Amino acid sequence: MEKQHISFDNYQNTISNKDVIRLPDILQKGHQFFLEAQEFYYLEPEIRETVDIYLEQLNTHLFSNKKTPKKDALSSASFIKAFLVMHRTIQSREKLKEFILSLQKAVTNKEITKEDPYANHIEEIQDKLVRQYNEMVVVDQIEVIINPKWRSQLQKIVSPLPKKGLGNLDIPVPNARVMTAPTIKNDPLFTSFDQQPIKRGKSTFQLPGAMRVLLGDLEKFELAITIEGDQGGGKTRFTYQLADAFAAIGNRVAIFTLEIGGQSDLINRMREEYLSPQNRNRISKADRLPDGYNTITNAARAFDVIIIDSWNKTGLPSQDFDRLRKEHPDTIFIVIFQRTTQKTIRGGTAPLFDAGINIEVVKVDDTFQNNYAVTTKNRYGVTGIKYNIHTRNIIGAAEVPSESENNQIEML
């Protein structure tokens, strides 16, 4: 490869497939992202910023005159410890960028390699922070919350490390205020109600347009939505509209189209009708579960929103619905449940109690133009609001109120 600085404009003429194969895995992923996102480079600032970060790391890897530093045995564990320091702190977008760049530099300099015993954790930390960074378009700060199960695993790794410092690495550990409130008699289980609540900023978010009126102020933590209703009422169509709404505010969405094959013409028509072109790069589909429950749980680690159409095609017991919600509290689950002839959901009604929102789709007539979705239970808003699936408007509303700024709590 010629020693020429690589930019967005000369990328295709400068780097070849042969060159890409020689790159570290992290830069190969960056190359793949470049190919998928290049058409949006001048249209979406967050994509441009991510591509620029990749190009900066690529040029550092290819053209740096510095000798590869000796591998530090504590390098990966030190980054993990620095990441744990972020838990329940408020972080700025710039601080996340500093941490990501520092981590990627360690990887490209081979301070952390695939042979590292904690390589999987390092990759997951990077993927989650990059995703959070890309989604911080409207807000400049977020509260970082690390999943309890994962946090416990990471703490076991770093517990042998000395408390004085983080090894010899210069890792930008954010100097942020910790959000943990004091507890009664140092008991970690209870917190007194007479303590002054700590304001964390806005911890809810809203979907755009009529969906905002239908669902209200949503909270990401353990959010699950069930959808049931009449056959032919438009349940699948409604979930595609939900997918578009969640993607519109920066979420990555996975749809398991188990009722309809992924190559079906109906799926393609729904894509054209309900998924906005600018949101399609955030929405993916799969039409099978090769490893059953594990397929869904693996997807929950990679996507912000999981849509399942329908649960009955998974072959899983209804108890697994709540299990998914608890094991992945930072992933939003939207699941269609089929009805029996007695109009109760198949497999038991437990999911209706576990979910924060229950939505019923009602078939009014065969024209489809009058079919609607209505919330029969909603912990976050008003129940009984009817949403016309054909017009995508609230029934009886003169107009949908203007959209407010979308602030959402970020959870890792």
Q: Pull the structure tokens for residue 336.
A: 């269609």
Residues 103-143: tens digit of each pLDDT:
888 887 778 887 888 888 888 898 888 877 777 755 678 88
Q: Does the pTM exceed 0.95?
A: no
**CB atoms < 10 A from the CB of 159, how many?**
10
CA gap 50, 133 in Å, rounded: 9
Backbone angles phi, psi at 230, to 5 degrees: -70, 145
User: CB-based contacts of 37: which residues, under 8 Å, 6+ apart?
Assistant: 47, 50, 51, 281
The confidence band for 404, taking pLDDT boundaries of 50, 70 and 90, is: very low
CA gap 151, 221 in Å, rounded: 16
Q: What's the CATH superfamily of 210-394?
A: P-loop containing nucleotide triphosphate hydrolases (3.40.50.300)
| Angle at alpha carbon of residue 136, lines to 119 and 97, rounded to 5° | 45
**DSSP secondary-structure letter at 339?**
B
What are the structural domain ranges in the chain?
Answer: 11-63, 210-394
Residues 264-316: tens digit of each pLDDT:
898 999 999 999 999 999 999 999 999 999 999 999 999 999 999 989 899 88
| Maximum Cα–Cα distance across the chain | 73
Q: Tell me whether the omega of the peptide bond preceding residue 75 falls within 30 degrees of 0, making it cis.
A: no
